[in-house]
């Protein structure tokens, strides 16, 4: 019986409000084969090394800790047995059981990844919550280019597409870290430079977008809408060069956007989460996210969360799961957040460093209140404004 889990497992009675998962992805509609399942436990896009398995990772162990009991199996049962039970239940029932145990009340879902994945509303419904869309800028640009006849049409259509998305989505996201690295020229590119870059890119058949001028153009189009912009920082799949994803490299862009009124949310951050927390502490419009990081660090989630909480102002840190493909990752992300938070704040109140009142208040801020404020979710709900687009 875990000793660090309020309530003894997912299901939790830790006094937190329904969580706002401010950055996540759809899950597979179909049943994955074992290799596909294991592939979602890692950020690697390659096979495991000979003699190893992706189940032998913190993410793999965390799935085996938290998920089997939700499907009627003992914690830590072998992967094969778990996968067999999963197949028996089928993808819909599995999704319903797993998402239903997370306590997530709002899903802000990045719809820019390929695959047969559930959309914002569909994901949220399985979990009994509300869905909202986060629009990935590079995907939007690539889709827009696919429909454009020339660069002029593309740039016009792109401006409209970003504007339209701002009317329905709650935020934008950029993966410039993957496409170029974060050491971007901070200034908005001149219209001429955008046109030239667009012409070259369209002429080349609009392959995967890596042009730094167009990446910057997307960032500034999004910033102009006033919707919060999520930026991938820190670790991710091996497309990325880790040292080029240090959020400190964004400092000049952070300065350049300081007076726009638009908030920037630094996603993931690890292992540069102390750098991200620093930026959040000195720039009013910068926020930091714990998603992905807690999922992949397992029983170290409390320690890593505590590192975030060294410099990050308590109104600047946001919960997410960054779950992708497997509903299991929603379970793991939320369970590790809940148990990590309880461990950290419990220790701090026990030592007298924090009062219990403050600890409860800060827990709710990170779990939900900060995200509701940054993304305007409460107003949204009242005004009947942005809500999940698509299924």
Which listed range, 30-38, 201-209, 234-242, 321-329, lies at the site for its own copies (CB under 8 A)? 234-242
CB of 269 to its own copies, least distance (A): 12
Q: Does 38 bind its own copies (CB under 8 A)?
A: no
CB of 143 to its own copies, least distance (A): 27
Which member of 71, 89, 248, 387 binds its own copies (CB under 8 A)? 248
**Nearer to its own copies by C-beta: 78 or 115?**
78
The one among 96, 199, 274, 360 contacting its own copies by CB under 8 A: 274
Select from 307, 327, 368, 386 the one that contacts its own copies (CB under 8 A): 307
- Among 113, 187, 190, 347, indicate the residue that binds its own copies (CB under 8 A): 347
Compute and round to an integer the Cα radius of gyration of the chain. 21
CB of residue 198 vs its own copies: minimum separation in angstroms? 29
Lookup result for tokens 């709650």: 170
User: CA-CA distance, 37 to 380, in Å (whole number)?
Assistant: 36
User: Which residue do the tokens 């667009």 mark?
Assistant: 198
Name which of 137 and 335 has its Cβ closer to its own copies. Answer: 335
113: preceding bond cis by omega (within 30 degrees): no
- Residue 330 binding its own copies, by CB under 8 A: no
Provide the greatest CA pair distance for the chain. Answer: 65
**352 counts as binding its own copies under rule CB under 8 A:** yes
Q: Which of residues 61-80 bind its own copies (CB under 8 A)?
A: 61-62, 65, 75-76
Q: Does 197 bind its own copies (CB under 8 A)?
A: no
Burial 101-121 (b: 16+ CB within 10 A, else e): bbbbbbbbbbbbeeeebbbbb
CB neighbours (10 Å) of residue 354? 18
Name the percent of the chain in helix, strand, coil, to the closest 5. Answer: 50, 10, 35
**Inter-residue long-range contacts of 43-49, CB under 8 Å, 24+ positions, other chains counted:** 43/235, 43/236, 43/237, 43/238, 43/296, 44/237, 44/238, 45/237, 45/238, 45/239, 46/238
Cβ within 8 Å of residue 138, ≥6 positions away: 112, 174, 175, 176, 179, 209, 215, 218
Question: Which of 48, 181, 212, 390 forms a contact with its own copies (CB under 8 A)?
Answer: 48
Q: Which is nearer to its own copies, 190 or 303 (CB)?
A: 303
Only one residue has tokens 């998402």, namely 99
Check binding of 43 to its own copies (CB under 8 A): yes
Classify residue 190 as exposed, middle or buried by CB count within 10 Å of its CB (0-12, 13-18, 19+): exposed
Tell me: does residue 30 bind its own copies (CB under 8 A).
Answer: no
Q: How far is the CB of 311 from its own copies (least distance, A)?
A: 6
Q: Judging by DSSP bridges, how do beta strands 286-289 and 317-318 pair with one another?
A: parallel
Residue 136 CA, distance from chain mean position: 11
Listed ranges 52-60, 154-162, 173-181, 204-212: which one lies at the site for its own copies (CB under 8 A)? 52-60
**Binding of residue 201 to its own copies (CB under 8 A):** no
d(CA 235, CA 177): 10
Stretch that binds its own copies, among 83-91, 151-159, 195-203, 283-291 (CB under 8 A): 283-291
* Nearer of residues 158 and 374 to its own copies, judged by Cβ: 374
The yes or no reply on residue 309 touching its own copies (CB under 8 A) is yes
Determine, following the binding rule CB under 8 A, whether residue 3 of this chain makes contact with its own copies.
yes
Select the span of 17-25, 99-107, 152-160, 248-256 touching its own copies (CB under 8 A).
Answer: 248-256
Check binding of 306 to its own copies (CB under 8 A): yes
What are the tokens at 120?
């914002």
């Amino acid at each position: 019986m875990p000793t660090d889990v309020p309530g003894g497992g997912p299901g939790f009675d830790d006094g937190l409000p329904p969580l706002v998962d401010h950055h996540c992805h759809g899950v597979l509609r179909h049943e994955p084969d074992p290799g596909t399942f294991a592939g979602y436990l890692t950020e690697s896009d390659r096979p495991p090394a000979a003699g190893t398995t992706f189940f032998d990772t913190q993410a793999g162990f965390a799935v085996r800790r938290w998920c089997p009991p939700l499907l009627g199996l003992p914690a830590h049962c072998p992967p094969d047995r778990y996968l067999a039970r999963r197949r028996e239940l089928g993808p819909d029932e599995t999704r319903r059981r797993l998402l239903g145990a997370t306590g997530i009340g709002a899903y802000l879902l990045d719809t820019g990844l390929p695959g047969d994945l559930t959309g914002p509303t569909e994901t949220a419904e399985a979990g009994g919550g509300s869905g909202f869309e986060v629009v990935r800028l590079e995907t939007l640009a690539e889709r827009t280019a696919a429909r454009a006849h020339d660069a002029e049409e593309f740039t016009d259509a792109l401006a409209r597409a970003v504007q339209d998305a701002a009317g329905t989505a709650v935020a934008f996201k950029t993966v410039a870290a993957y496409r170029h690295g974060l050491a971007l020229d901070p200034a908005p590119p001149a219209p001429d430079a955008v046109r030239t870059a667009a012409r070259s890119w369209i002429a080349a058949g609009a392959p995967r977008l890596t042009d730094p001028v167009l990446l910057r153009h997307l960032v500034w189009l999004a910033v102009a809408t006033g919707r919060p912009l999520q930026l991938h920082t820190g670790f991710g799949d091996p497309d990325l060069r880790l040292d080029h994803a240090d959020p400190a490299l964004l400092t000049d862009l952070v300065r350049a956007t300081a007076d726009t009124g638009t908030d920037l949310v630094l996603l993931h951050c690890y292992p540069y989460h102390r750098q991200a927390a620093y930026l959040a502490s000195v720039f009013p419009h910068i926020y930091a996210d714990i998603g992905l990081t807690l999922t992949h660090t397992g029983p170290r989630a409390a320690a890593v969360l505590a590192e975030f909480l060294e410099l990050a102002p308590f109104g600047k840190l946001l919960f997410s799961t960054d779950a992708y493909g497997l509903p299991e990752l929603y379970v793991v992300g939320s369970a590790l957040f809940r148990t990590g938070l309880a461990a950290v704040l419990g220790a701090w109140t026990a030592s007298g460093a924090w009062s219990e009142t403050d600890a409860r208040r800060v827990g709710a801020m990170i779990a939900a209140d900060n995200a509701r404020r940054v993304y305007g979710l409460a107003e949204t709900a009242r005004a009947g404004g942005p809500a999940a687009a698509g299924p």
